[in-house]
Amino acid sequence: MKELSEAELKKIDYNCRKATFLIEKQQIANITQTEKMELKIHLAGCSICVTFMQQSAVINQMARKLFDPDSGALKLAKGFKEQLQKQINSQLL
Amino acid sequence: MLITDSGNNTTDNSAVNPHHWVSRYADYLYTYAVLRINDDDLSRDLVQETFLAALEQMQNFKGISTEKTWLTAILKNKIMDVYRSRSKGLVKGVKSINPDGIDTGFFDDDTGHWNDQHRPANMGIEQADAVENKEFQQILTACMNKLPDLWRAVFSMKHIDDESTEMICSELKLSSSNFWVIVHRSKINLRSCLQKNWI
């Protein structure tokens, strides 16, 4: 792997847009070795993106839990349900 | 009702009982739909359509999955249709966006550095036990509902239903680069919305 020039390093250090893109991609798919290294260098010098990464993971976990319909409390109206069961029963005849 | 000539799977047949569908599964399916499409009326219609479609497909029920899983799969297909119809026209809008040119003011155009007002700050949710917090859950739901339909569909399919990227792209007719742009932008927006409403 080639050495990074100072200009390239600076670009990595400052590019939070790219870093957050890679953080999101990494949670879902593989990123390349070069990308991994870029991200590592960036995160070593950017506590803001470290915070972003932690929060992003928590959001994913929370979404999964929140959207589990078994834990949901939504209820259909009683009248609607009675009608619906009647409709089903009539189809069964 | 399904009648088989083999005695092996008689228990499977008894697993389908439409007389109990509404009392057992209607609320579950309704919740499942509302969480994904954020539309009460449409969700109610989809629950009804699901049961009616299930009645017609009863002979296909093999008893390999549970009745609940089977009904959920039928509903899921209907939700996909909603995603697809909603994302028509929206995809066009995404195509015109340069993947690197996120222009919503989150990052400095030249350096790519966080702009001050969007900079992530500690929210006290960095440890996963915040996941239990009801108030935070409500804010997350509200923030998700602010996302454009297509983004919300991508987020739900990936993070809630754990679908493969290939499947999501083909169902929603997205290129892979559009997919990653949407994943990135959705999360940046969602996180920013949480921070704004939580702190």
How far apart CA A12 and CA A87 sit, in angstroms, is 62
pTM of the model: 0.78
CA distance A90 to A75: 23
Local confidence band at A3 (pLDDT 50, 70, 90 cut-offs): low
Contact B159 A49 (CB under 8 A): no
pLDDT reading at B88 higher than 80: no
Handedness of CA A8, A10, A13, A16 (dihedral sign): negative
Q: What is the pLDDT of residue A52?
A: 96
DSSP chain B: ----S-STTHHHHHT--GGGHHHHHHHHHHHHHHHHH--HHHHHHHHHHHHHHHHHTGGG--SSS-HHHHHHHHHHHHHHHHHHHHHTTHHHHHHTS-TT---SSSB-TTT-PBPGGG-----S-SSGGGGG-HHHHHHHHHHHHHS-HHHHHHHIIIIIS---HHHHHHHHT--HHHHHHHHHHHHHHHHHHHHHHH-
Collect contacts of B108-113 with beta carbons under 8 A, ≥24 apart.
B111/A14, B111/A15, B112/A14, B112/A15, B112/A16, B112/A17, B112/A18, B113/A14, B113/A15, B113/A16
Indicate the class that CATH gives domain B95-197. mainly alpha
Residue B89's pLDDT band (cuts 50, 70, 90): low
pLDDT above 90: residue B74: yes
pLDDT value for A71: 66
Show me where the domains of chain B are located.
Answer: 3-87, 95-197
| Chain A interface with B: residues with Cβ < 8 Å | 14-18, 20-21, 24-25, 28-29, 48-49, 51-52, 54-56, 58-67, 69-70, 72-76, 80-81, 84-85, 87-89, 91-92
Angle between helices B176-198 and A16-28 in degrees, nearest 10: 110
Amino acid letter, B141: T
Residue B9 has pLDDT above 50, yes or no: no
Q: What is the pLDDT of residue A33?
A: 96
pLDDT class of B3 with cuts at 50, 70, 90: very low
Flag if B144 and A63 touch (Cβ within 8 Å): yes
* pLDDT value at residue A2: 57
Question: How many angstroms separate the CA of residue B85 from the nearest CA in chain A?
Answer: 22
Q: Which residue has the higher pLDDT, B1 or A70?
A: A70
Predicted confidence (pLDDT) at residue A66 exceeds the cutoff of 60:
yes
Say which CATH topology domain B3-87 has.
Answer: Rna Polymerase Sigma Factor; Chain: A (1.10.1740)
Instruction: Give the pLDDT of residue B12.
Output: 45
pLDDT score of A25: 96
Q: B26-58: b or e for each residue (b if 16 or more CB lie within 10 Å)?
A: bbbbbbbbbbbbbeeeebbebbbebbebbeeee
Mean pLDDT score across all residues of chain B: 81
Q: What tokens appear for B12 in the block?
A: 């499977």
ipTM for the predicted complex = 0.81
Quote the tokens at residue B11: 């228990």
How much is the pLDDT for B125?
Answer: 73
Greatest Cα pair distance in chain B: 72
Q: Where does the pLDDT of residue B4 fall: very low under 50, low under 70, confident under 90, or very high at 90 and above? A: very low
Q: What is the pLDDT of residue A63?
A: 84
CA–CA min distance A62, chain B (Å): 5
CB B13 within 8 A of CB B2: yes
Q: How far is CA B34 from CA A85, B45, B81, B146, B152, in A?
A: 20, 11, 15, 15, 13
pLDDT digits (tens, 9 = 90+) for A32-51: 999 999 999 999 999 999 99
Picking from B26, B159, B188, the nearest residue to A76 by CB comes out as B26
Question: What single-letter DSSP state applies at residue A78?
Answer: H
Report d(CA A33, CA B19) in Å as an integer.
57
Structure confidence by residue, pLDDT tens digits, B99-148: 343 446 898 888 888 988 888 998 877 765 666 677 888 888 889 888 88
The residues, any chain, with a CB within 8 Å of residue B29's CB and separated by 6 or more, are A69, B46, B47, B50, B71, B72, B75
Least confident of A26-30, B107-111, B166-170: B107-111
* Residue among B32, B36, B128 whose CB faces A58 most closely: B128
A67 and B52 in contact by Cβ < 8 A?
no
What pLDDT does B11 receive? Answer: 44
